[in-house]
Amino acid sequence: MAISFRRLHTDGGTHARRSVLSTPHGEVQLPAFMAVGTLASVKGLEIDQLRATGAEMILGNTYHLSLRPGEETVAALGGLHKFMGWPGPILTDSGGFQLFSLAHRVEITETEAVFRSHIDGHLVAISPERAVAIQEALGSDVAMALDHVVGLPNEPAVIRDATERSVRWARRCQDAATRSDQSLFAIVQGGLDPELRVWCARQLRELDFAGYAIGGLSVGEEQAEMLRMLEATVPELPVDRPRYLMGVGRPEDLLESIARGVDMFDCVMPTRNGRNAMAFTDEGPMRLRNLKFERDERPLEDGCPCAACRRSRGYLRHLFMAGEMLGPTLLSIHNLTYYQRLMAGARKAIEQDRFDEYRQEKLRGWQHSPAG
């Protein structure tokens, strides 16, 4: 395997794990949050700004990069790391989520998924073999197997069909993989059926992947349903492999999932919300277009080392009200820094066997002290 995974400690009161993921481009301290760089760019941030947030690993999108600029172009320019100037580890997803998000444009057969490009409408076919080939050309450290994602709620027969296909496609991805410096993660599906999730996890476990992701959640279900699926699924995954919950990004979801044994996360929420004038804080979300911040001299959060917190709330509000580009950049920096600080705090709490105390402290602040 191109990666290695070391468990350092398990929290005494929960299933939270403190681990290290070693990759060809460096180590990642787990639990970890990966910033999303869909098109080889975390929107609005230069690489030095991104690194200053504490990010160690980022995510790229196979489907989108295959359309623009094309994986051949990325490969010709030295691979994804050199192309975007990011020296650290990169994970690329497989395009499976687009089977859900672009469902009105997709036709799925056992062989492949055929899309209408959201850019110009031309036909794009992604098979398990094609998904692996694209990711190998991109040169990411971790590649994801192509899975079949469906929306929730859905008919049981539809969910079962997609789950069984995800297992068959995972095996095909494994057979197609050729790069010794790239590791392949499988993705557990199963909707909101715990028995189906367990079945899928066991099938994929037998195939012995380098890591295991939990997909098809955070697509409209309640948090309690998502956590119920984690409680069914995570115990079925190998203890000596990383566990990655895909696309889940609310701070409270991260901590609840870590408590259940999840190691890795990604989501566009910190940057998307930042571009829309919403800052994450320990006292809840802060919506800076609110008039009450117009003459507020305080930083977003005391003790936060980010560039945004060297300015006042009033100044940050002004940037958004004036349509200045700096506003979305600064709040994206703050939100990513907040997420990395949250993960760093979680890692320390796990090491000290006080993760549940840490989780409850954060939840109280988010739930009972709205920042406005």
Pick the CATH number of 4-267 from 3.40.109.10, 2.30.29.30, 3.20.20.105, 3.40.50.450: 3.20.20.105
Residue 96 has pLDDT above 80, yes or no: no
Residue 291: the pLDDT is 98
Cis geometry, peptide bond prior to residue 31 (ω within 30 degrees of 0): yes
Percent of the chain with pLDDT over 70: 97
CATH 3.20.20.105 domain residues, the chain: 4-267
- Residue 1's pLDDT band (boundaries 50, 70, 90)? low
Q: 159 and 190 in contact (C-beta within 8 Å)? A: yes
Q: Is the pLDDT of residue 25 over 90?
A: yes
User: How sure is the predictor about 100, in pLDDT bands with cuts at 50, 70 and 90?
Assistant: low
Tokens of 77: 């320019």
The yes-or-no verdict on residue 98 having pLDDT over 90 is no
% residues pLDDT > 90 (the chain)? 87
**Catalytic residue among 93, 147, 253, 296, which?**
93
Instruction: Please state, in angstroms and rounded to a whole number, the distance separating the CA atoms of residues 363 and 368.
Output: 8
CA distance 114 to 126: 6
Q: How confident is the model at residue 328 (pLDDT cuts 50, 70, 90)?
A: very high
**pLDDT tens for residues 246-274?**
999 899 999 999 999 999 999 999 999 99
Residue 121: pLDDT above 80?
no
Q: Can you name the residues that pair with 144 across neighbouring β-strands?
A: 185
Which is higher by pLDDT, 2 or 372? 2
Rg of the chain taking only CA atoms, in angstroms: 20
The whole-number pLDDT of residue 102 equals 66
Helices 313-321 and 326-351 meet at what angle, rounded to 10? 140
Whether residue 370 is predicted with pLDDT greater than 70 in this model: the reply is no
Q: Phi and psi dihedrals of 73, rounded to 5?
A: -65, -45
User: Known catalytic residue: 266?
Assistant: yes
**356 counts as catalytic:** no
pTM listed for this prediction:
0.96
Q: At 232, is the pLDDT very low, low, confident or very high (cuts 50, 70, 90)? A: very high
Output the pLDDT for position 219: 81
CA 335 from centroid of its chain's CA atoms: 15
Do 169 and 175 touch, CB atoms closer than 8 A?
A: no
Q: Which of 11, 147, 253, 266 is an active site residue?
A: 266
